[in-house]
Structure 1
């Protein structure tokens, strides 16, 4: 009887430890949570909603190698980076929309399928394409740094101004959605008319 009790106790220990591991969402952020026109973000509609958006100490950046215009059909790398000292868990979502009608602009091309994935909404904004994190993509690259890279292919024709809308989460890793902070950022690209002329 004693041996049986010891065996069951030893068996229960790893199960208890597994249950206490920090949770990570394998599905990524739900589509349409970037703060783009018509959308909320994870701090206003759902999960991480107990702190005001952009009220924490993290810094969110969306960078395309400092470019501010696009040539139709060309592929551009995008870097999404959020920093906050001591944080070990982050998440993000990104969408690109045409300013004139808020339709989807171009396409995202994954460069890191381990940390990023593409998602679409099953309900509203079904035409919009989103890139977000994966299960492994929530881990900090280094303590205090969340970072993801993806390529974006510009529309094949001039669509006028295009805006990238990003939302990111700096999580406290307490096995819940509470106490986290959500941030938003946008980046506007104008068409490169010189490049368009060269393509003709």
Structure 2
């Protein structure tokens, strides 16, 4: 029985390492961007505290979004921990969520040459979409920082505020979930509300007086 138990333990450990390596090289499963009700990369790469020796930046998100406008969003992962690594790999996942409904907000479109992909949401949040790296987008051997860009078209309907959530990883490249550094951040974007012009009868007469 002990032999069987040891064999099962070794098998599960090997399977877990394979899953972690697969998730890094081909992109994580949906729901690991740190968005509400979902997880982040620490679920599989939990050796170190979040944001140790670096940070994740979400760039290009406007303070106010204009309905139907397209913005180029960049996820940049910065980590001083990669300086001593022989062949670091990088990864990320990004999503946009309505602050009112919790649904996915806007439409993502891939940018050529970024080697990223868009995946469907989880069963808990099926309307969300996630942008993440492909195997060719892990920026192998790059040190200090890595980044990816994607175009985001703001929702046509007035959903209120939108929040971007992103998680990233600076991995040691050994194919396991150990020894990797995880970073996460979020950025809130308000909707642009068209102001209502209030007119009085006196101001109207003044405007059209000859």
TM-score (norm 2): 0.74
- How many residue pairs get aligned? The number is 170
Q: What is the CA RMSD across the aligned residues, in angstroms?
A: 2.1
Tell me if the contact between 2:55 and 2:184 (Cα under 8 Å) persists in the aligned partners: no
Rounded Cα–Cα distance in structure 1 between residues aligned with 2:63 and 2:121: 28
Which consecutive segments of 4 or more residues in structure 1 shift more than 3 A? 23-26
Gaps of 5+ in 1: 1-22
What SS does the aligned partner of 2:104 have? coil
Q: How does 1:132-147 map to 2 (within 5 A)?
A: 132-140=132-140, 142-147=142-147
What SS does the aligned partner of 1:193 have? coil
Q: What are the Cα deviations for residues 109-160 of structure 1, in whole angstroms up to 9, with x where unaligned?
A: 1013652100113533121100000001111584222110000000012211
Q: How does 1:16-165 map to 2 (within 5 A)?
A: 25-43=24-42, 45=43, 47-54=44-51, 56-64=52-60, 67-85=62-80, 86=83, 88-112=88-112, 114-121=114-121, 123-140=123-140, 142-165=142-165
More helix by share: 2
How much has 1:175 moved relative to structure 2? 2.4
Q: What are the Cα deviations for residues 139-197 of structure 1, in whole angstroms up to 9, with x where unaligned?
A: 15842221100000000122111000001111112221101111110011111224x88
Rounded Cα–Cα distance in structure 1 between residues aligned with 2:55 and 2:140: 14
Please name the residue that 1:187 is paired with.
187
Rounded Cα–Cα distance in structure 2 between residues aligned with 1:106 and 1:82: 23
Gaps of 5+ in 2: 1-20, 197-210
TM-score (norm 1): 0.77
Tell me if the contact between 2:95 and 2:130 (Cα under 8 Å) persists in the aligned partners: yes
Tell me if the contact between 2:31 and 2:122 (Cα under 8 Å) persists in the aligned partners: no
Rounded Cα–Cα distance in structure 1 between residues aligned with 2:104 and 2:31: 12
What SS does the aligned partner of 2:47 have? coil
Rounded Cα–Cα distance in structure 1 between residues aligned with 2:72 and 2:114: 17
